[in-house]
Structure 1
């Protein structure tokens, strides 16, 4: 399983561990990934995802999974999240027609 957020695309980054004597050693900063179940109000379904903790705060701020996916760029989303976004758009288009 990749260490990548399914919604925001956050991945590990590389930096230096600096000792007291200023010796620099390469290290990785891993994202704080958590397993959560997010509910889509419009689709009336729940989705299990592995997302970063800071992304979870943003999802809460934007009004849930539906609000987050409406503003999210498609190149950052995982295939699973992209399918959910397309399902939401399809349902909104059908509601606009009716």
Structure 2
């Protein structure tokens, strides 16, 4: 289940996780801590503290699906703070994401880039259509102006030529 995709070879070395289980979820930099229990007898015993990990399902609007992932309580709070899984993945530094986080981040980025390209194409088409419509409107206005000028020219030539005077002149 560990990622072997070639794109992961280009990731920075700072993504090295302190323990393998952190590679399978969003641990937000949390790792196993080691220390001692010290009772009243002062006899130290070694122990470990594991991160507070839960399996959660998040809605991803960009991926248009639900994503089930193991998260620590700290990562969960940060996801809520950022306003969702997509924003968390895009805005969090790679050193805190781990392998699974970077895999999800790449998926979200690819989808976001595809959406941006689609919106750019739509905007370009809309601009082309509006330019064509503007040219068509301009041609119609030009034709209407030409027709109006022709009518005005004909009327003035008829008045000057005496046609209107002869037809509508008072008889008598």
Q: Under a length normalisation based on structure 1, what TM-score does the superposition of the two structures give?
A: 0.81
Which SS does the other structure have where 1:77 is aligned?
helix
Which SS does the other structure have where 1:42 is aligned?
coil
Q: Is 2:61 aligned against 1:41?
A: yes
Structure with a larger share of its residues in helix:
2
Q: Is 2:141 aligned against 1:94?
A: no
Name 1:6's counterpart in structure 2: 25
The CA RMSD measured in Å over matched residues stands at 2.0
Decide whether the 8 Å contact of 1:32 with 1:52 is kept in 2: yes
Name 1:60's counterpart in structure 2: 80
Name 2:36's counterpart in structure 1: 16
How many residue pairs match? The answer is 97
Q: For the residues of structure 2 that align with 1:15 and 1:68, how far apart are their CA atoms?
A: 31
Name 2:104's counterpart in structure 1: 84
Structure 1 residue 67: Cα displacement: 1.3
Structure showing greater radius of gyration is 2
Structure 1 residue 9: Cα displacement: 4.4
Q: For the residues of structure 1 that align with 2:92 and 2:76, how far apart are their CA atoms?
A: 13
Decide whether the 8 Å contact of 1:12 with 1:28 is kept in 2: yes
Q: For the residues of structure 1 that align with 2:63 and 2:109, how far apart are their CA atoms?
A: 11
Q: Greater relative contact order (Cα 8 A, min sep 6): structure 1 or 2?
A: 1
CA displacement, residues 56-89 of structure 1 (integer Å, 9 cap, x when unaligned): 1111111010111012233443433322211221
Name 1:28's counterpart in structure 2: 48
Decide whether the 8 Å contact of 1:13 with 1:28 is kept in 2: yes
